[in-house]
Structure 1
């Protein structure tokens, strides 16, 4: 659990602390040295960096080759840079990571809310999904322009249940998400009829 005082001190003032708290709870990490690496749909298992220098080395190893998220907000480490040498140590500083991450998430949340047309709980769920995938409405959301002043809904525990379960509005899907995925594999219909296997021939 992230200290509320740290959020109050470091978060983007354009976002209410309750939004930042929920954002970190849904999409972030408790350890500022957390580095997550994804290649396509796969999570690459990497050693937990014990020091900020080790975290920086790990990021430099993978940025440009995979999707790298870092710190309390799981900020996209490669965003806004063209070379791994441009990575900054403040990515693994708790306060700076919250500042940068909450500012970028605020833009994502405004983009999604504007798409909905008004402040609704579903917009937060989709903003979380867009943050995790990097896409909204088929476009790379981090590089989209900020729509500016948009009223944002303050999410409640209940409103974020869908995001916690990995569900989202269709508009937040990345371009490669062409097929629906069953949330509960046990509730899926039969794809191949195997009932005749082992049966006696007539």
Structure 2
């Protein structure tokens, strides 16, 4: 569980703290030095980094050859970077990773919400969130590369939606009650 002060200080302000927590729980890592590498749909086992330098060495080794995810948000390393040498060590800084990761996830949420027609009902938000997490993990939604796609701008759904109350949640096929 993320510290509320870290969320307040570092996370994108367009996401409510509860949504940030849900996002990191669903798609991220508890370890700010976590590096995940996948190639051809297969997980490549890499040594666990014990320092920012080690984590960045792993990132640079695989960037451009595989899908490399980094840090608390499992941010896709290499987005907008032309060469591995241009990758910045702040990818593995917990606060900076949370800042860029939640900003990118907010954009992904807006893309998904727009596809749904930007509904205002809180009942639809769990499905939008679930689809956005899936898009975050795969990099695509409805054939669109979400990390390179243009940001559709503010979304009523994200600004007004509340995450489901865990006390009221019951198991459904998608894990939420509507």
CA–CA distance in 1 between the matches of 2:42 and 2:66?
A: 10
TM-score (norm 1): 0.77
How many residue pairs match? The answer is 164
* Equivalent runs, 1:86-101 vs 2, <5 Å: 86-101=86-101
Corresponding position of 2:140: 135
Corresponding position of 1:19: 19
Q: Which structure's CA Rg is the greater one?
A: 1
- CA-based RMSD: 1.7
Is the Cα–Cα contact under 8 Å of residues 128 and 163 in structure 1 kept in the other structure? Answer: no
Corresponding position of 1:155: 163
Q: Deviations over 1:84-142 (max 9, x none)?
A: 00100110000000000000000000000010011422110000000000000012111
CA–CA distance in 1 between the matches of 2:170 and 2:73?
A: 20
TM-score (norm 2): 0.87
- Higher relative CO (Cα under 8 Å, sequence separation at least 6) belongs to 2
Which blocks of at least 5 consecutive residues in structure 2 are unaligned?
none
Corresponding position of 1:110: 110
Which blocks of at least 5 consecutive residues in structure 1 are unaligned?
165-202
Partner-residue secondary structure (3-state), 1:126: helix
Q: 1:39 to 1:103 in 2, by over 3 A?
A: same
CA–CA distance in 1 between the matches of 2:171 and 2:116?
A: 17
